[in-house]
Structure 1
Amino acid sequence: MKKLGWGLVFSFLLLSYDVSAQCAMCRATLETEDGGVKAEAVNDGIVYLMIFPYLLVGLAMYFSYKVYKNKRNTKS
């Protein structure tokens, strides 16, 4: 189980890349402006907000594993 966790951590670190996470309406509105600086800022904000669901799921899995491990140790 520990190897699987480290494998997931390393795969997330190694496979990170730039993504475009804008809806069609946001993209159409922001592309009309000059420079595209605001469009990149909105895209970065969207990607930043996408991190939190993954963190919450990871924390829930971690704590459920701790509870499972504690119950397993108390039975022995």
Structure 2
Amino acid sequence: MKTRFFIVLLFFCDCFFKASAQCAMCRAVLETADGQSAAQGINDGIVYLMAIPYVLVAGLGYFIFRKYRTLKKE
């Protein structure tokens, strides 16, 4: 069970770090600006904000699952 969890976690981390989260409008505006550091910062911020709800829901699901298993054993 733990091995499967870590494999799934690594898969999502791999996809998460390769994500390009900017919409077409944001990308067009930021590519015309000088330097790409602003575009990379905006992209990282978007990915960070997108990941937080998934982490919270996964954590909540894990705690519910664990509580259900302990109640089922009793």
CA distance in 2, matches of 1:61, 1:36: 38
> Is it true that 1:9 corresponds to 2:9 in the alignment?
yes
Cα distance in structure 2, aligned partners of 1:10 and 1:48:
17
State the AA in 1 paired with 2:29: T
CA RMSD of aligned residues (A): 1.8
Figure out how many residues of one structure are paired with residues of the other and give that number. Answer: 73
Larger Rg: 1
Q: What are structure 1's unaligned runs of at least 5 residues?
A: none
Q: Whose helix fraction is larger, Structure 1's or Structure 2's?
A: 2
Partner of 1:26: 26
Structure 1 ranges of 4+ moved more than 4 A: none
TM-score, length basis structure 2: 0.78
Distance in 2, matches of 1:26 and 1:12, equals 25
List alignment gaps of at least 5 residues for structure 2: none
Which amino acid in 2 is paired with 1:59? Answer: G
Compute the TM-score of the two structures, normalised by the length of structure 1. 0.76
Identity of aligned residues (%): 45
